[in-house]
Amino acid sequence: MRSLRGALVAVVVVSGTAVAAYAGAGAHGGASAPELQWRACRGGDVECAQLTVPLDDTNPNDARTIDLALTRVPALDPDRRIGSLLVNPGGPGVPGAGFASEIAGELPAGIQDRFDIIGWDPRGTGRSAGIDCNDDLDGMYALDWDPDTSAERRALEQATRAFVDSCVRATGDRLRFVSSDRTARDMDRIRAALGDEKLTYLGFSYGTYLGAQYAAQFPQRVRALALDGAVDPALDAAAAQVEQAAGFEHSLDLFLEDCAQREDCSFHGGDDPAAEYDALRARVDDHPVATDDGRALNGTLFDIGVAQLLYDGEDSWSSLADALAAVQRGDASDLVYYSDLYTGRDDDGTYDDIQGSFLAIGCADGPPMGGVAGVRAIEEQAAAAAPRLGRSIVNNSLACAFWPVEAAPVAALHAPDAAPILVLGTRNDPATPVKWARGLADELGSAALVTVGGARHTAFASGNRCVDRVVARYLVELDVPRDGKRC
């Protein structure tokens, strides 16, 4: 998955003082840009390095530092090498160091030949001072994220507050220094350490927000930014949450409509798969389905498993149909498996650190949700726009109502003086609606928008030859497509 958490929309206002203090350091971010010490790792031709960066680059008196974990897959044709291509898989909260080796072989040959592919764990994730909150989240997911009663709501709020408290105890002051504006400045430090005069970047989902942040802070250092599955930073919390919920709901509707028209759909059952879906979801909510290993599929895990499968659009519709049909037969193993992929649960019952990092970055980035009362108001709007999935999607961000770091207010990002930027939007994307791509392209002021058919989340390097040609020509040759092109 390009984005294990979808896009908890992050919007920040960057302090003019902070940006000026760093941006004035020169073309390479200062004469003292460190040289990276690459070493073989992860097998094959993959190399690893660390880059030490300030914990708080807005305070010259704060000497604390953190190390960013980087990986590199060298260009296959070094004699024709253009430079480095920095890549990010999305999130927020998803480590990206391993992503370089994962995606390198999927990229068009021209990109593999001409660029070193560089991945990194953004600050607050993975091996870059990752946020480690609580490894046992079974209790959280056993609660009802689509609460029907005041008791269910109180239980969810109490457990969420306890999770936030565990993050504070484990991480403390570091929570204040993981916002995306700081990560964008880390990206410029990475660029400088790599020896590139300007940044070439490929970002998916939340990674588009990092690219937009970079362009807004360092417009003169942009060579080429390809932003796929774009986030619109100009939206307030209600618009972002409700529109995302509606996007997932629309994607689910497309699946159910397709299933109704095909007798080979394993969830076809009768003439109305939508009604079958609603009845099954209600039954699971009232009577969770036991699994062979003693767990239970409740309404929350049901929604999460469905959402996980919707990310891949049509490619996963048959798997979604099979999983739902299995639940009808009393077998919840498939849908629990897909929910575990989303939540980061291992077979031993422990969870990875992505949820903590996701919240630490996303809640700090904003936009503000207005506390518990604000979340409840957004939840009602989302339930009206997306009756099946809206409440669960909004309550995935409930922790932001209790987060100790103040969320930054809404602010569009502008980069009219940057080199042309490429923005991609999939027309039925469940996680980042295509209107967000249109919004980001307009706000940047230097972007060309390409829209893509389909219902998957993100489009590049997923088998669409039109998209792959457009992105490869842009990154390699700086050939900017016509604004409004359709693939």
In the predicted structure, residue 29 carries a pLDDT above the cut 70 = no
What are the structural domain ranges in the chain? 16-130+178-234+412-486, 133-177+237-366+369-405
- Looking at residue 433, its pLDDT comes to 98
Residue among 400, 430, 380 nearest 146 (CA): 380
Residue range 312-317: mean pLDDT, rounded: 97
Give the pLDDT confidence of 211-259 residue by residue, as tens digits: 999 999 999 999 999 999 999 999 999 999 999 999 999 999 999 999 9
Q: Mean pLDDT, to the nearest integer, of 410-416?
A: 95
Neighbours of 347 (CB within 10 A): 7
pLDDT of residue 155: 97
Backbone phi, psi, residue 264, to 5° = -85, 0
DSSP state, residue 441: H
Chain position carrying tokens 């909004």: 394
**Residues belonging to the active site:** 205, 429, 457
Q: Which two tokens stand for residue 342?
A: 């989303």
Total count of residues recorded for the chain: 487
Q: Which residues of 25-57 are buried (b: 16+ CB within 10 A; e: fewer)?
A: beebbeeebeebeeeeeeeeebbbbbbebbbbb
- pLDDT tens digits, 34-44: 789 999 997 77
Q: Could you give the count of Cα atoms lying within 13 Å of 273 in the half-sphere of its Cβ?
A: 23
Q: What is the pLDDT of residues 113-163, one digit of tens each?
A: 999 999 999 999 999 999 989 888 999 999 999 999 999 999 999 999 999
Q: What distance in Å separates the CA atoms of residue 298 and residue 291, rounded to the nearest whole number?
A: 11
pLDDT of residue 289: 97
Say what the pTM is. Answer: 0.94
CATH number of the structural domain 16-130+178-234+412-486: 3.40.50.1820
Summarize the confidence of residues 370-396 as an average pLDDT: 97
Q: What is the pLDDT of residue 393?
A: 97
Confidence of residue 304 (pLDDT cuts 50, 70, 90): very high
Residue 116 amino acid letter:
D
In 10 A of CB 99, how many CB atoms?
24
| Greatest Cα pair distance in the chain | 69
Q: Which residues contact 225 (CB under 8 A, 6 or more apart)?
A: 199, 200, 201, 203, 211, 214, 215, 418, 421, 422
For the cut 90, the answer to whether the pLDDT of residue 93 exceeds it is yes
Residue with tokens 């969830």: 267
In this predicted model, what pLDDT tens digit does every residue of 428-440 receive, in sequence order? 999 999 999 999 9
pLDDT at 34: 79
339 pLDDT above the threshold of 50: yes
Pairing between β-strand 39-40 and β-strand 47-54 as defined by DSSP bridges? antiparallel
- Taking only Cα atoms into account, the Rg of the chain, rounded to an integer number of angstroms, comes to 22
d(CA 188, CA 203): 15
Average pLDDT over residues 172-193: 96
Instruction: Please name the residue that has the structure tokens 């260009």.
Output: 75
The pLDDT of residue 32 is: 57
